[in-house]
Amino acid sequence: MSRIAGVFDALRQSGRKALIPYVVAGDPDPTGTVALLHELVASGADVIEVGVPFSDPMAEGPVIQKGHERALANGMTLRKVLSSVAEFRQQNTQTPIVMMGYANPIERFGYEAFADACAEAGVDGLITVDLPPEEVDAIDTALQAVGLDNIFLISPTTPESRIKTIVDRARGFIYCVAVKGVTGSGQLDTEEVSESVALIRSKTTLPIAVGFGIKDAESARAVAAAADAVVVGSALIDKMEQEAAAGNTSQIQVHGAAVKLLESIRAGVDSSPS
């Protein structure tokens, strides 16, 4: 059983839902990524999505785009992201790490070399935002060879006829996008989310995580009632950016702003009816 499957299985047996924070490696501080990952775990993260900085992150809203820009300015690269995960793994061998990024840096790295490097670092899964399931054969073969999960997004505009194609290629979990548009945008409609989750659930037994548009404990609680996992990213990055903009630039202060929000979201998820 993979690390991701093991976490979801344990949570299901205990009647709990997963909390999945997303952060951009190298943001806001190039030296603080590993410490931030550990703090997220201590604050209730069950799985962590680590964003790989990219110059054209088309699925991201303004908040996460700025996070990518800061990380690139800080010198973060794909190889350095992998090094950060490997360092995190020296102290934590339980929490799954999912890398989320774009195809271009992975293609330049080479699919087999990338998959091998991910496995060696301790990465558990990959979300390649701009690589549709029809184009994943080469990288998926490499990922499967080393036991990594290939995770796909399903958006509100994905036709029902296409959902089956996506879930049949997916491993680990399904990422259900809660709102139309980019990350951090749009108004969350929990009824629509519930309908989307129900439709996806009718076509797969994989766990379903919901993200985009979840900003606080209340929205997390509502989403957790339908989903197996709640993903939060823009809200955490925004809190850290605001803290730094206020002149509180130490790692303790900046990370603390995200940690405080994540703890409240954890409480919201845990208070949700199953």
Q: Return the pLDDT at 248.
A: 85
Q: Return the pLDDT at 53.
A: 97
Q: What is the mean pLDDT of residues 269-273?
A: 94
Task: Read off the pLDDT of residues 166-221 as tens digits, 9 standing for 90 and up.
Answer: 999 999 999 999 876 555 455 778 899 999 999 999 999 999 999 998 999 999 99
**Is the predicted pLDDT of residue 273 greater than 80, yes or no?**
yes
Q: Where are the domains of the chain?
A: 3-270
Q: Return the pLDDT at 242.
A: 95
**Is the predicted pLDDT of residue 249 greater than 90, yes or no?**
no
What percent of the chain is predicted at pLDDT more than 70?
97
- Provide long-range contacts, Cβ within 8 A and 24+ apart, for 131-134: 131/103, 133/165, 133/166, 133/169, 133/170, 134/165
Q: How many CB atoms lie within 10 A of CB 156?
A: 17
Q: Return the pLDDT at 58.
A: 84
Architecture of domain 3-270: Alpha-Beta Barrel (3.20)
212 vs 7 pLDDT, higher one: 7
What CA–CA distance (Å, rounded) separates 212 from 176? 9
Q: Which residues pair with 21 in a beta bridge?
A: 232
Entry pTM = 0.96
CB 121 within 8 A of CB 85: yes
